[in-house]
């Protein structure tokens, strides 16, 4: 039997709440991209937050772009010297460039982004247009009186 792994879809979507519960039991693949680590949180009924650990990146080295239903977060470190006469003996802090893409559900929009303490926060909100929201139709009682048509008789 062939196993279909939906976890990459699960790990990069926002706003597909029904899919989250269905895919919650699937194991994460071993070879998946793991840098930078991130969380996807539901902060309200129609609001979400993506938190990414981007330690060492400044706000001018990060870019966020939302196009159609894809949110792209890119990071590119600018090479700066450690100072004159210094030599880097060990690099334990990652400084590689990255690009993360998230598939957004219909009507999910980026509200804002902030960088605090090495964490990039991207706030999202689902805005369903009024014409797509369910609406209640009022039921009116029909009058029980039957309209009578009076016929004029010719004399």
- Residue 51 contacts residue 116 (beta carbons within 8 Å): no
CB-side neighbour CA atoms (13 Å) of 96: 9
Give me the pLDDT at residue 77, please: 82
pLDDT tens across the length of the chain (155 residues): 455 565 676 667 776 655 555 445 444 444 456 788 899 999 988 899 999 998 888 888 899 999 888 899 999 987 765 556 678 788 777 678 889 888 888 888 999 999 999 899 999 998 888 877 788 888 888 765 555 555 555 55
CB-side neighbour CA atoms (13 Å) of 42: 10
Nearest in space to 74 (alpha carbons), one of 89, 94, 54, 46 = 54
Give me the pLDDT at residue 135, please: 82
């Amino acid at each position: 039997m062939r196993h279909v792994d939906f976890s990459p879809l699960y790990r990069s979507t926002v706003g597909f709440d029904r899919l989250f519960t269905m895919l919650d039991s699937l194991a994460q693949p071993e070879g998946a991209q793991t840098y930078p680590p991130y969380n996807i949180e539901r902060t309200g009924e129609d609001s979400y937050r993506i938190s990414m650990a981007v330690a060492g990146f400044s706000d001018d080295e990060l870019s966020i772009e939302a196009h159609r239903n894809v949110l792209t977060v890119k990071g590119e470190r600018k090479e700066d010297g450690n100072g004159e006469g210094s030599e880097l003996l060990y690099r334990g802090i990652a400084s590689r460039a990255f690009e993360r893409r998230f598939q957004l559900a219909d009507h999910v929009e980026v509200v804002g982004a902030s960088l605090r303490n090495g964490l990039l926060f991207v706030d999202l909100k689902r805005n369903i247009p009024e014409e797509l929201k369910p609406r209640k139709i009022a039921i009116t009682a029909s009058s029980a009186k039957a309209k009578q048509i009076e016929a004029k008789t010719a004399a």
